[in-house]
Structure 1
Amino acid sequence: MKISHIKILTVLFLAISIQGCADLLEEEVYSVLGPSNFFRTAEDAESLLNSAYASDQRRSSRDYLLLSELTSDLLIQRGGGLRRSAQLIEDFTWDSTHPFLDVQWGRDYTAIYRSNLIIDIVPDIEMDEARKQQIIAEARFIRASNYFYLFDVFGPVPLITNSDLEIEARPGRASREEMIGFIEDELQAVSQILPVEARNYGRANKGIALSLLTKFYLNNKKWQEAAATAQQVIDLNKYSLFNGSSRSALFDIENEENDEFIYIRPNLPIPGLSTSYLAHAAPPSYQFKFPPRGNFAAQYQLLDGFVNSFHTDDQRKQVIIQEYIDVNGNLIDLGPDNSRSFKFGEDPSGVGTNMGNDFPILRYADILLSRAEALNEIAGPSEEAISLVNEVREVAGVPALMLADFSSKEELRDHILEERGWEFFTEELRRQDLIRHGKFIELAIERGKNAFDYHVLFPIPQNEIDRNPNLEQNPGY
């Protein structure tokens, strides 16, 4: 399999930056040689930017995936050492000591610190002015995107916008209005600076900034803004739906640099730079095409209610396996609530559990469905909203919808939520979608979970509460 040289360079830059800047967040400077006078060249500016991308794009795909999908009507996890932590998420019995929350908080604030360092230092570096402004804009995007995820998981958090915050200064949480305003303003601003074509694969550009802004507007129910910003992405004429031999081929590793993937989390089949998703999805003794392969005891399993909801012609279901051939040549029926998503399948170059499949953070299909949803919330079912949904359905091989099929805003809203499930399962979006549609707690209760309204947010990690007396815990925890 051929791996893009650009992809290799991108991910290796991230790896080098992780090593080189791992302690920036924790170190206290005791000499006159500090960040303000250490970074002086254009090369230093690029290295700083690589370090910020390293924190942003090496976000734990396991932890955030499970926070997003185990709390939904799609996924469960069984077996292995992961079971105890995952069970707490699945059962809505998590608390402020859950390890996934520490990982999320620490990773995002490390990226924010590194971005703030760029924004503070790079303006004083003598270098090409156009490149300088782009580096600063990319750093502002990384900072805003990490606040996007923090806000998604925890609600308002401390809004830190400089790198020289004294250790004694323990900021409290921003207001909801301050958080929303900051993220919106930053993404709007950088979308005017960033080029349409990114400098390197996996780096921020205009379309990425506008797409994340679309999703932020959507999740906060700013329907007019979401619809308009989605249209800006469409009008770039840069992105299109993948329409290969099958819709399921969208995620094949040889097709990953395609025009539907707007923003990705890059991976290589190297420990520390890879994804181990398939080792969690593959059932016991699964016969891989390219052994030897690792196969974890911890297993990701899809619920039957979801798997059985697909149209019989839907190509998106082709990445779901309900039976398989094991290493002994036996045909194994996976049984109830045990189907597996192979959306991110086997990398021929993978080693053990380490695969190089890129993970899509933003896809063009999401932009089309986001505009359709926003238009429906503004004015109810319309020809345009139905047409946008049908664009996604057409490449999946399922029959088109008709405007006459929907007599109310509520009916189309419910269908769009269902369509998003078929399109984006195991892509870290289901929790956001259920919360936005007001179904998150309702469906959890239907599944027998002891869920309450406050569970739409996770608690601030207890370690952070202990460190910072000005941090207030989310209600209910």
Structure 2
Amino acid sequence: MKNLYTITIILLVSSLYACSDLLEEEVFGELAPSNFFNNQEDAESILNAAYANSQGYRDLARDYLTFGEFNTDLALQREGAISTFIHPVENFTWDSTHPWLQGLWARYYSAIYRTNTILDYVPDIEMDEERKRQILAEARFLRAFNYFYLYDLFGPTPLIVSSLTSVDDRPERALAEEFQKFIEDELRDVSAILPATQAQYPRATKGAALGFLCKFYLNNRKWQEAAATAQEIIESNDYEIFMGNHRADLFALGNEGNKEFLFAVPFIAHSAIGNTYLSHAAPPGYRFQFPPKVNFAAQFKIYSDFIDTFEPDDQRLAAFLFEYTNQAGNTVVLGTDDARSFKYPEDPNGVGDVSSNDFPLLRYADILLSRAEALNELSGPNEESISLINEVRQAARVSPVSLADFTDQSDLRDFILAERGREFHTEALRRQDLIRHGRFIASALSRGMPASPHHVLYPIPQVEMDANPNLIQNDGY
């Protein structure tokens, strides 16, 4: 699948953040959608473009970590020009003019436009009917996927379900209930059509659709639905916890596409589409194993208080850099709040600032801990939740917990939140988790940030507010 994306992403990357209008139409050269969709090849081409557009830019900070982790109790960022964009988010001083929020809004709606174009025109193409059915299901999955992230960041936004919607329509924001029902229905419907596995990784599958549905239920505190959907995935036997020689091997380049990954962002070591994470995380003067590599001024760091939550024998600690050898051959010990996450190991074939490390968006470990959390919310501490937690901990070769370790629902809830931090750091899930647990604002206040209740949502970008008078801004902005 990486090869499938290569040309498509190169063509798209220069325009990912150029879209300035909510409903700005895509340009297809001299072709219009009405005369572009003539055969199966055309349908496959725009589907590939929708995948590429959906999964983002090469910079994990811009698309995922800044708005999902750098304003939490796990990570911080220092130094470099990128601080101009990250520090307002880290410090809870962001506003509606933040250019990366505009970029995300534009990218999501650009991908939605592409998926809507597929859904509007592909049904009329004469082609293999079973492949047509799969293409339409993948397009619906990608549309729901993009709305999933829009809802996470901004709350309910305009629900646009046709590429024929005019820029003059200026749609209003959907009601929360309408928006939630749309995502839930779409993911449920396509889960019955998508295959359990795909020949090309990482295309949408039945498990990916059910996985995002499970997480959407969970984030909206629909505990019964989340628990039941997680159980569907578990009972499918399509996924399993990675049990390699070492837990850190889960993210090794040779293990990409393993059965713990339900959905991921694929990267290639190419200047336009490579993963630049390590060039931001490596400390000053770090001597890379496979030079030459670019080391940016930016410093992606990990809070020491978070590191202290790990047990000493937890294999997941191997994902962190605590000391290193610099270019002069000297050993440098990193101090307080200065450890680095090297969860995505160095790529021997990386070029300059890029590598081919994929970025996981959904893992089987998340499904197990999601069911454990939902069951605890439904009935308090229970043996099944403990078993699910221990399945994840066993992979990290860390001591199991027992039901007797938890006095009540709140006690187990706190432990699950902490365990999710240890398991999913550097995967941009922490903000969601803290908000769901009612801890996002309190956690920020404890770090001295001027956080207020309205900060659980980001503001609709100002350029969109200016372009569409029917949009209502989120409270507090």
Residues 237-272 of structure 1 show CA distances to partners (whole Å, capped at 9, x for unaligned) of 111111111101111111112111111100000011
Residue 60 of structure 2 corresponds to which residue in structure 1?
Answer: 61
AA at the equivalent of 2:254: E
CA deviation after TM superposition for structure 1 residue 200, in Å: 1.3
State whether residues 280 and 297 of structure 1, in contact with CA within 8 Å, keep that contact through their aligned partners in structure 2: yes
> Cα–Cα, structure 1 residues 35 and 308, in superposed 2: closer, same or farther, change >3 Å?
same
Q: Output the CA distance in 2 between the equivalents of 1:308 and 1:21.
A: 39
Q: Trace 1:114-193 onto structure 2 (pairs within 5 A).
A: 114-193=114-193
Residues 294-351 of structure 1 show CA distances to partners (whole Å, capped at 9, x for unaligned) of 0010110001100111101100011101111101110101111110000012100001
Residue 273 of structure 2 corresponds to which residue in structure 1?
Answer: 273
Residues 107-137 of structure 1 show CA distances to partners (whole Å, capped at 9, x for unaligned) of 1001000000000000000001111011000
State whether residues 315 and 396 of structure 1, in contact with CA within 8 Å, keep that contact through their aligned partners in structure 2: yes
Q: Output the CA distance in 1 between the equivalents of 2:275 and 2:17.
A: 20
Residue 4 of structure 2 corresponds to which residue in structure 1?
Answer: 9
Residue 438 of structure 1 corresponds to which residue in structure 2?
Answer: 438
Residue 388 of structure 2 corresponds to which residue in structure 1?
Answer: 388
Residues 396-441 of structure 1 show CA distances to partners (whole Å, capped at 9, x for unaligned) of 0111100111121110000000000000001010000000000000
Residue 461 of structure 2 corresponds to which residue in structure 1?
Answer: 461
Residue 35 of structure 1 corresponds to which residue in structure 2?
Answer: 33
Q: Trace 1:414-453 onto structure 2 (pairs within 5 A).
A: 414-453=414-453
CA deviation after TM superposition for structure 1 residue 28, in Å: 8.2
> Cα–Cα, structure 1 residues 152 and 27, in superposed 2: closer, same or farther, change >3 Å?
closer
Residue 259 of structure 2 corresponds to which residue in structure 1?
Answer: 259
AA at the equivalent of 2:414: D
> Cα–Cα, structure 1 residues 388 and 34, in superposed 2: closer, same or farther, change >3 Å?
same
AA at the equivalent of 1:61: L
Q: Percent identity?
A: 55
State whether residues 15 and 54 of structure 1, in contact with CA within 8 Å, keep that contact through their aligned partners in structure 2: no
Q: Trace 1:272-311 onto structure 2 (pairs within 5 A).
A: 272-311=272-311
> Cα–Cα, structure 1 residues 28 and 401, in superposed 2: closer, same or farther, change >3 Å?
closer
Q: Output the CA distance in 2 between the equivalents of 1:257 and 1:91.
A: 36
Q: Output the CA distance in 1 between the equivalents of 2:130 and 2:9.
A: 23
> Cα–Cα, structure 1 residues 370 and 8, in superposed 2: closer, same or farther, change >3 Å?
same
> Cα–Cα, structure 1 residues 410 and 163, in superposed 2: closer, same or farther, change >3 Å?
same
Q: Output the CA distance in 2 between the equivalents of 1:289 and 1:33.
A: 47
Q: Output the CA distance in 2 between the equivalents of 1:174 and 1:445.
A: 31
Residues 202-245 of structure 1 show CA distances to partners (whole Å, capped at 9, x for unaligned) of 10010100001000000000001000100111111111111111
AA at the equivalent of 1:421: G
Matched, 1:331 2:331: yes
AA at the equivalent of 2:328: N
Residue 353 of structure 1 corresponds to which residue in structure 2?
Answer: 353
Q: Output the CA distance in 2 between the equivalents of 1:95 and 1:255.
A: 40
State whether residues 10 and 200 of structure 1, in contact with CA within 8 Å, keep that contact through their aligned partners in structure 2: no
Q: Output the CA distance in 2 between the equivalents of 1:108 and 1:77.
A: 25
> Cα–Cα, structure 1 residues 274 and 32, in superposed 2: closer, same or farther, change >3 Å?
closer
Structure 1 residue runs without a partner (length 5+):
1-5
CA deviation after TM superposition for structure 1 residue 30, in Å: 13
Q: Output the CA distance in 2 between the equivalents of 1:438 and 1:181.
A: 23
Structure 2 residue runs without a partner (length 5+):
none
Q: Please, what TM-score do these two structures have when normalized by structure 1?
A: 0.96
C-alpha RMSD over aligned residues = 1.9
- Find the residue that maps to 1:366 and give its secondary structure: helix
Q: Output the CA distance in 1 between the equivalents of 2:428 and 2:118.
A: 29
Q: Output the CA distance in 2 between the equivalents of 1:31 and 1:342.
A: 41
CA deviation after TM superposition for structure 1 residue 61, in Å: 2.0
Q: Output the CA distance in 1 between the equivalents of 2:454 and 2:14.
A: 38
> Cα–Cα, structure 1 residues 130 and 300, in superposed 2: closer, same or farther, change >3 Å?
same
Residue 72 of structure 2 corresponds to which residue in structure 1?
Answer: 72
AA at the equivalent of 1:35: P
State whether residues 69 and 426 of structure 1, in contact with CA within 8 Å, keep that contact through their aligned partners in structure 2: yes
Q: Trace 1:79-94 onto structure 2 (pairs within 5 A).
A: 79-94=79-94
Matched, 1:315 2:315: yes
State whether residues 11 and 266 of structure 1, in contact with CA within 8 Å, keep that contact through their aligned partners in structure 2: no
- Find the residue that maps to 1:301 and give its secondary structure: strand
CA deviation after TM superposition for structure 1 residue 15, in Å: 3.5
State whether residues 75 and 300 of structure 1, in contact with CA within 8 Å, keep that contact through their aligned partners in structure 2: yes
> Cα–Cα, structure 1 residues 19 and 119, in superposed 2: closer, same or farther, change >3 Å?
farther
> Cα–Cα, structure 1 residues 461 and 9, in superposed 2: closer, same or farther, change >3 Å?
same
> Cα–Cα, structure 1 residues 101 and 78, in superposed 2: closer, same or farther, change >3 Å?
same
Q: How many residues align?
A: 472
State whether residues 10 and 201 of structure 1, in contact with CA within 8 Å, keep that contact through their aligned partners in structure 2: no
